[in-house]
Amino acid sequence: MSDIHALSGAYAVDALDDEERSQFERHLEVCPECRAEVRSFSETAALVAETSSETPPPSLRDSVLSGIGSIRPLPPVTAPTTTPADPASAPGTVHTLRRRTFPLLVAASVALILLAVGTFAWHPWSGSSTTNLADQIMQAPDAVRVTEPVPGGGKLTIVRSASLKRAVMVGSDVPAPKPGTTYQMWLQQPGLGMVSAGLMPDADQPTVLAGDAATAQAAAVSVEPETGSAQPTSDPIALFPLPTSTTGNGTT
């Protein structure tokens, strides 16, 4: 526990390798202290950058300002789905309707958006880009869906895109978690076992799983205390075996 907190400094200055980074990002989702610390370190690092200040050539300004002319700014995120929300806000409510549908937006430059999403995955102040990412995953040409019934009612569906290396979970008629608890998603990674893939306070809201879904052997959802757990503390309410990725780029 205390060991992972010690990574906050290295995370803030991008000094973690990819695996540590994604582990720590999952930790960030459940650790407000580390989120606050990372933010303060990012501000500090921004000041350190001051010592390297150097005026760029004027041609760069021209490239940037002509570049933005052909890029449409994205709208704000209206429903962040990876930030742990307060599951007690609707105690006992049973969601009988899916809350949102997926507009079939065909983005003009999908690749660029995905690049951007990659970078924005978990800068704590950037808000969540997962709404777009969820749509991207669900509309990916190689998207594969698996649906499992949930013991308490309703069903959960995971949609995975091996090429995007990401997966999104969405429920249908899944009861809201009891007050004080939340749904938490897991990815079973080779050699690591079940690794938290983030909280899912509202099961009927599509939620992108944190972590590399292409390498994962299975995904699961369990009921956990509302701040989340480092390891599953109850039997999963749904377990999804994931076939090994065949894209060949899953482990680079």
Partner 1 sequence: MTYLRSVPADPPPEGGGSVGAHLAELLKRASLGDEGAFAEWYDATSARAFGLAVRVLRDRAQAEEVTQEAYLECWRHAARFDPAKGSAISWLLTIVHRKAVDRVRSAEASSRRDEAYSHKEQTVDHDSTAEAASASLEAKRVRAALSDLTLKQRQAVELAFLGGYTHTEVARMLDLPIGTAKTRIRDGLIRLRDALGVGEVAQA
| Residue 106 sits in the site that holds partner 1 (CB under 8 A) | no
* Nearest of 148, 149, 232 to residue 184 by alpha carbon: 232
Among 1, 2, 75, 248, binds partner 1 (CB under 8 A): 75
Q: Which of 135, 224, 138, 231 is nearest to 189 (CA)?
A: 231
- 1 contact partners, CB below 8 Å, separation of at least 6: 230
Q: Does 60 bind partner 1 (CB under 8 A)?
A: yes
Nearer of residues 16 and 143 to partner 1, judged by Cβ: 16
Q: CB of 125 within 8 A of CB of 213? A: no
Q: Does residue number 192 form part of the binding site for partner 1 (CB under 8 A)?
A: no
Is 68 a residue that touches partner 1 (CB under 8 A)?
Answer: yes
Task: Tell me the helices (H) and strands (E) count for the chain, helix number first.
Answer: 7, 8
Q: Which of these segments, 56-64, 152-160, 162-170, 228-236, binds partner 1 (CB under 8 A)?
A: 56-64
Number of other CB atoms surrounding residue 24 within 10 Å? 20
Q: Using the rule CB under 8 A, is 123 a contact of partner 1?
A: yes
Instruction: Examine residue 114 and tell whether it contacts partner 1 (CB under 8 A).
Output: no
The H-assigned helical ranges of the chain are 2-5, 8-12, 18-30, 32-49, 58-68, 110-120, 130-139
Residue 225 near residue 180 (C-beta atoms within 8 A) = yes
* Of 50 and 141, CB closest to partner 1: 50
In Å, how far are 12, 27, 130, 197 from 7, measured between CA atoms? 9, 10, 24, 18
Per CB under 8 A, 63 contacts partner 1: yes
| Binding track over 1-40 against partner 1, x by CB under 8 A | -----xxxxx-xxxxxx------------------x--xx
Q: Nearer Cβ to partner 1, position 17 or 141?
A: 17
Instruction: Give the shortest CB-217-to-partner 1 separation in angstroms.
Output: 26
Query: Exactly one of 86, 91, 103, 126 binds partner 1 (CB under 8 A); which one?
Result: 126
Q: Please, which residue, 42 or 181, has the CB nearer to partner 1?
A: 42
In this complex, which beta carbon is closest to partner 1, that of residue 7 or of residue 138?
Answer: 7
Minimal distance, residue 107 CB to partner 1, in Å: 11
- Helix (H) / strand (E) element for 105: namely none
Least Cα distance to 76 among 25, 126, 138 occurs for 126
Question: Which residues would be at the binding site for partner 1 (CB under 8 A)?
Answer: 6-10, 12-17, 36, 39-57, 59-61, 63-65, 67-69, 71-77, 112-113, 115-116, 119-120, 123-127, 129
